[in-house]
A and B are shown apart, each in its own frame.
Chain A
Amino acid sequence: MRGISKVIGRAIPFGRKNVDTDVIIPAKWLKTITREGLGQGAFETVRREADNVFDHAEYAGAPILIAGDNFGCGSSREHAAWALLDMGVTAVIAPSFSDIFSSNAFKNGILTIELPQGAIDRLMEVTATDPIDIDLDSQTVTTPFQDRFEFAIDPFRKNCLINGLDEIGMTMERDDAIAAYEAGLSADKPWQQPRS
C-alpha cells in the first residue's frame, strides 16, 4: 500500500447524514472478483438525482468528500472503500463514521477525518470555490482563508498510513506469539476445536 501524508484539492460537498454503504456502492456492483472499476457504480442512486454534486464539473476528480454523521453505516462491503478510491477520493471528512467503514477505509489508505459539524459547515462553504488542505503529519485541515481544524487519529493508524505498511506482513512477523497463544488454547480449551 502506498504511503499518504497530504491530501490537497477540492472536496465534494455531499453533506448528507447516515450515508450507508448501499448508497456508496449498490449491491449489483458487488458481483466482482477484483477491486477495480467500482467508481462507475459509486453513488449511483444519488447520481440519478438532478443537479447532484457528484456530476458538477468543478468536483470532477476531487480527492476529498465531505459528509454528515455516521458515514459508511450498514453493510461491511469493502467495495465502498474501493469505489471511493476508484473515483479518486482518498479522504473523507465527516462528524462521525461507522466502525467497519473507517476500518475498511484505513486498510485502503483512505483518511477518515472526524471534525465537528461546525467545521464541516465551514468546509462545505470553502469548497464551493477553493481547495482544502489535509496534512496527516500535523493532523490539521486548513483552507486558503486561514481556517485551521485539528483532528485526532489513532497513532497506530497514522503510522501505517504515512508509511503505507503491510499489516498482514507485520502480523505474520508475530508468528511466535500467535503460535504460543494457540498452544495455550489447545491445552486449556481442547473442546473448542470444531468437530469434523
Chain B
Amino acid sequence: MQLGVHMGQCVYWPMCILDCQLRGLRYYGVMTIRPRTLYEKIWDAHVVEQRDDGTALIYIDRHLVHEVTSPQAFEGLRLAGRTVRRPDLTLAVPDHNVPTTPRVDADGRPIPIADPDSAAQLAALERNAPAFGIRYIRATDREQGIVHVVGPEQGFTLPGTTLVCGDSHTAAHGALGALAFGIGTSEVEHVLATQTLLLKRSRSMEIRVEGALAPGVTPKDLILHIIGHIGAAGGTGHVIEYRGQVFADMSIEGRLTVSNMSIEAGARAGLIAPDDKTFAYLKGRPMAPQGADWDAAVAYWRTLATDEDAVFDSSITIDAADVEPTVTWGTSPEDVVAIGGTVPDPQNFADPSKQAAAQKSLDYMGLRAGTKMTDIPVEHIFIGSCTNSRIEDLRAAADIVRGRTMADNVKSALIVPGSGLVKHQAEREGLDHIFVEAGFEWREPGCSACLGMNPDKVPAGERCASTSNRNFVGRQGPGARTHLVSPAMAAAAAVTGRLTDVREL
C-alpha cells in the first residue's frame, strides 16, 4: 500500500485527505517541516535521489540551448548513441554570434552569415534541433532573441521550476522565482540525455534592500552597487535571494536585470520570490499555463515564498538610499564607483593583490587615478544584452535621447533589442525613430557587442558606455575598454560624449 504524506506548505493543503483518496493513496498525515527558504523549497521539490555523498540528482524542468555551447554536447550524444530524454522541455534559439544586421533580403530570403565559423555553428544548431526533436526558434523568426529574454517572454520560464542553459547569465530567470543557473557543455549533454543534473546544495545568501531607489537610480545601478559591495567572488558557492521593499516595488524587467548579474558577484543563481507582479507578467504568455491550469499553477507558486522564520547562511543589508547612478572604472564588475566619484587610486586598496590588479586595470582602461568619472569621454555606446535590452530599458534610453542628438565624438551607438518581439513593440511605440534621428543604429536582436562574437565589436583602445554585464579585458573586442552603465546612463553618455550623471540632463 502506498502512503501519502502531505506537508504544511504543499499545494493540496488543506485538501490532503481528499487528494490521497483521488490518487489511491492511504492518507498518512501532515508532516510539519522546518521553515524553508524559496531556494530550499525549489530544491526539495526537485530531488530525484539524495545520495550519501551529499550530492543529489536534481530534475531539470526547462533547458535553453543556443548555438555556441551546444554543438559539442549534441556531438557527444551522437557519438554515444544517446537521445534527448525530454525534447519537449528544451527550447533552442540562436543568439550569441548571429549578426545584428538584417537577416532577410528584400524578398524575405535568409541572408547567409559571412563569417564561416559562425555560420557553421548556426548550421549545427539548425541541424541538431530537428534531429533531436527540440523546439527551435530560427534566426529569422520574430520570436528570436537572446535566450534570457526569450524564455520569460514566451512563458517558458516559470516560477518554482529548475531552468538551465549553457550560459552563465541564466541566473536572470531567477527574477521569476525559477532556480536558474548556467552550466557547461558537459552538463548540457547530461541534461539532454537524462533531464537531470548531479548537484550539491549551495549555501543561501539573503541580500535585503529596504527603502526606495531615488529618481534616476535604476535596477542596474543597484546590482552594480551590490557587486561592488560584496565583490566579484562574494556570492561564490551561494544562491542569492533578493528581498526587501525595493524588489517588491521593482518591475519584472528590473528584477531580470538584477538577477541576471548575480553571477558577476560569483553566485550561480539569484532568486526573487514570485508575487502578483510575476503572475501578471506571465499570464497569457504563449507557453505559460492557461485556464484551470493557470489557477492551479498560481496556487502552487504562492506557496514558494521564503517562510517567515527561515534561516539564510548569510545576510547582507543595503540601504536603497545609498545607491547612486553607478559606473565601472576597471576590468572586473566589482570595480564600481558612483557617477559623481573619481577613478580610485590603486594605492588606497588595503589588499596588495588588489592594488596590483587595480593598477593593471587602470593601465588597460587608459585611466589615471583621481580623474572625475564625468570627465571620461566615450566613443561608443552599446544598449543591449540579456541584462538591459527589454522594452523598459529601451523606453528609459529613449526618454533621454528624445529631442537630442549624438555627440560629435561618439563614433557608434548601437541599440540591439533583446528579441524580435521587443523590437516590434519598440517600433510600435516609435522608439526606433527617436534613436535613429539622434544618430543611433537600430539593429536585429542578439547578444551582439556584449561579448563581441559577432561583427559588433569595440575597437582596441576605444571606450564604450555599455549596458551589458562584463567589463572584462577584451570582452567587447581585443583591447576594448568597457564602462558598465544603465540604459539611461548609456543614452546620456551618447548625447554628451562622456560618462554623465543622467540626473543632470
Docked Cα-Cα span, A73 to B452, in Å, equals 18
CB-defined contacts of A73 to chain B, threshold 8 Å: 232-233, 266
Q: Which of B20-76 contact A (CB under 8 A)?
A: 23, 48-49, 51, 53-55, 57, 59, 61-62, 68-69, 71-72, 75-76
CB-defined contacts of A195 to chain B, threshold 8 Å: 155, 286-290
Candidates B23, B189, B297; contact of A191 at CB < 8 Å: B297
Is B200 an interface residue when CB atoms closer than 8 A count as contact? yes
Is B354 an interface residue when CB atoms closer than 8 A count as contact? yes
- Measured CB to CB, the closest approach of chain A to B501, in angstroms, equals 28
- Measured CB to CB, the closest approach of chain A to B345, in angstroms, equals 19
* A174 and B474 within 8 A (CB): no
CB-defined contacts of A167 to chain B, threshold 8 Å: 186, 190, 198
Whether A171 contacts B198 in the complex (CB less than 8 A), given A70-B236, A76-B168, A107-B186, comes out as: yes
Q: Which of A21-37 contact B (CB under 8 A)?
A: 22-23, 26-28, 30-35
CB-defined contacts of A26 to chain B, threshold 8 Å: 474, 478
Q: Which of B58-114 contact A (CB under 8 A)?
A: 59, 61-62, 68-69, 71-72, 75-76, 80, 82, 85-86, 88-89, 91, 96-97
Docked Cα-Cα span, A45 to B85, in Å, equals 40
Q: Which of B117-125, B213-221, B421-429 contacts A (4 or more CB under 8 A)?
A: B117-125
Candidates A98, A104, A154, A181; contact of B48 at CB < 8 Å: A181
* A20 and B472 within 8 A (CB): yes
Number of A residues whose C-beta is below 8 Å from B? 59
CB-defined contacts of B120 to chain A, threshold 8 Å: 31, 33
Is A144 an interface residue when CB atoms closer than 8 A count as contact? no
Q: Which of B202-260 contact A (CB under 8 A)?
A: 202, 232-233, 236-237
* A194 and B69 within 8 A (CB): no
Docked Cα-Cα span, A77 to B334, in Å, equals 21
- Measured CB to CB, the closest approach of chain A to B285, in angstroms, equals 9
Docked Cα-Cα span, A190 to B297, in Å, equals 9
Whether A70 contacts B182 in the complex (CB less than 8 A), given A16-B357, A27-B451, comes out as: no
Docked Cα-Cα span, A70 to B296, in Å, equals 42
* A154 and B193 within 8 A (CB): no
Contact mask A54-93 → B, CB, 8 Å, 1/0?
0000000000000011100111111001000000000000
Is A108 an interface residue when CB atoms closer than 8 A count as contact? yes
- Measured CB to CB, the closest approach of chain A to B199, in angstroms, equals 9
Candidates B53, B91, B334; contact of A155 at CB < 8 Å: B53
* B297 and A31 within 8 A (CB): no
* B53 and A156 within 8 A (CB): yes
Docked Cα-Cα span, A73 to B440, in Å, equals 33
Is B309 an interface residue when CB atoms closer than 8 A count as contact? no
Chain A: which residue is nearest B170 at the CB level? A76
- What are 18 of the A-B contact pairs (CB < 8 Å)? A18-B332, A22-B472, A28-B453, A30-B453, A31-B68, A69-B353, A74-B168, A100-B183, A156-B54, A167-B186, A168-B82, A178-B59, A178-B85, A182-B86, A190-B296, A191-B289, A191-B294, A194-B287
